[in-house]
Amino acid sequence: MKLQTIINILVLVPLFSFAQQSEAYLELMDNLVPIDSIKIETSFNNGKSKYIGTTTYYEYMDKEYAFLTGKHIRYYKDGSRTEGVYNSWGTVLTNKYFDKNGNLISDSRTITLDTSAKSIQEFENSNKHITFVIKTDDYKYSSESNKYYLYLESEHTNGKKSGTWKYYFPNGELKKEKKQ
C-alpha cells in the first residue's frame, strides 16, 4: 500500500467517524468542560462480567453532567451481549448485539445527529430539539447455508421508520425493497 494512501486513511477515517454530528450539536457540546471519568465494572454473583463502561463527568455553569462515553459492554446471563460505543457527550454511535455463541445479530449506527437546542439546559430538559438517523443491519441464521446472513437493512429517523428498507435472501440476493 502506498504511503500517501495510508496517510489519507489515517487522516480521513477519524473525520468521517464523527461526521454525523452537526455543527450546531458540536458547538453546543463544546461548552461542556470534562472534570472526571469513572470506569464502571459490575459482575454477576458467579464473578463473570455483567457490565463494563465509562461515565464521564462535565461541568457547565456550575452544574455537573454525566454521560456514558467510549465502549460499553453489557453481558447477559444467557451468554449474549451488547457492545455500544458512545461519543464524548453520551450519544450512541454504534450498538451491536451478539447471541450467546458470539454471532452478530444486529448492528446499528447513528449516521446523523443534529439539535436545534440553544443551550445545554434546553438540551437536557427536552428531546424535541434532536434529529437523529440510525441505520441498522439485522442478521438471521440460515439452516440451509449453515451461517448467519444479512437479512434486513433498515433506517429510523427519531425512532420512526424511514428510508428504504431492504430484505435479503440467505444467498445475499435482494428479496424486496420497501420505502417507508
How far is residue 144's CA from residue 29's CA, in Å, rounded to a whole number? 49
User: Is the pLDDT assigned to residue 18 strictly greater than 50?
Assistant: no
Report the Cα–Cα distance between both ends of the chain, in Å, rounded: 42
Q: Which domain holds residue 58?
A: 20-179
Nearest to 20 by CA among 132, 122, 118, 96: 132
**Helix, coil or strand: residue 151:** strand
Residue 54 in domain? yes
Residue 93 in domain? yes
Residue 159 in domain? yes
Domain tally, the chain: 1
Neighbours of 116 (CB within 10 A): 14
pLDDT grade for 17, boundaries at 50, 70 and 90? very low
Instruction: Look at the pTM and tell me if it is higher than 0.85.
Output: no
Residue 1 in domain? no
How far is residue 51's CA from residue 72's CA, in Å, rounded to a whole number? 7
Rounded to whole angstroms, what are the CA distances from 44 to 15, 50, 99?
38, 6, 18
How far is residue 122's CA from residue 129's CA, in Å, rounded to a whole number? 8
Task: For 148-165, write each residue's pLDDT tens digit.
Answer: 999 999 999 999 999 999
Residue 107 in domain? yes
Residue 55 in domain? yes
Task: For 68-103, write each residue's pLDDT tens digit.
Answer: 999 999 999 999 999 999 988 888 899 999 999 999
pLDDT of residue 71: 97
Residue 6 in domain? no
Residue 102 in domain? yes
In the structure, how many helices (H) and strands (E) does the chain have? 3, 10
**22, 114 Cβ separation under 8 angstroms:** yes
